[in-house]
Amino acid sequence: MPAVIDFRLATLNDLDSMALLEAAAGYSRWTSDAIRTALERHSVWLCIERNHSDEMLCGFAIFSRVLDEAELLNIVIDPGYQGRSLGSRLLAWSFSNLSDDGICHCFLEVGQDNGPAIALYEKLGFKLEGRRKGYYKKSDSRIDALIYCKNLDKPN
C-alpha cells in the first residue's frame, strides 16, 4: 500500500520530531523549548506521511491566535519532501481549520529576500500589507520584513 500524506493537530509527543525537522531544514531559528512553548500555547498542525502503521513527519505550521486573527509564526517542510506542494497543502488545511474556528484573517512576516516563500504566500492569496525596515538580521546586514495578510473564508 503506498504512503498517504495526511494532516493532524500536533501534540507534545511530536516535540522531538519537530525539533529534529527544524534543525534538518537548516533554519534552526526555533529551539526545542520554543517549539514546546508553541505546542502548549498555539495552534500547531503537522503534515505527515502514513505508511501502514508508521508516521513520518514531513512538515509543520505554527499559528498564534488572538480573537478572530491568526499569525503564521513558522512553517517547515522537510527538505526531502520539498517541491511536492506539501507547504501549500498544509497551509490550505490549516486555513480551513482556522476558519472553522472563527478566524477571519491570517498575517505573516517574511524576509524580502525569500522569493520562494513570497511566491507561495501570494499564490495562496496573501496580500502585501506593509514592511518593517531592517527587521531581520542577515550576516552583517539587515533586511526588511514584508507583512502579508490573507482573508479566510468563513465557514458555511
Residues tagged active-site: 109, 121
DSSP state of 4: E
Please provide the size of the chain in residues: 156
Give dist(CA 63, CA 28) in Å, integer: 18
* 8 Å CB contact between 65 and 42: yes
Q: Is the dihedral of CA 136, 83, 36, 108 positive or negative?
A: positive
* 8 Å CB contact between 125 and 70: no
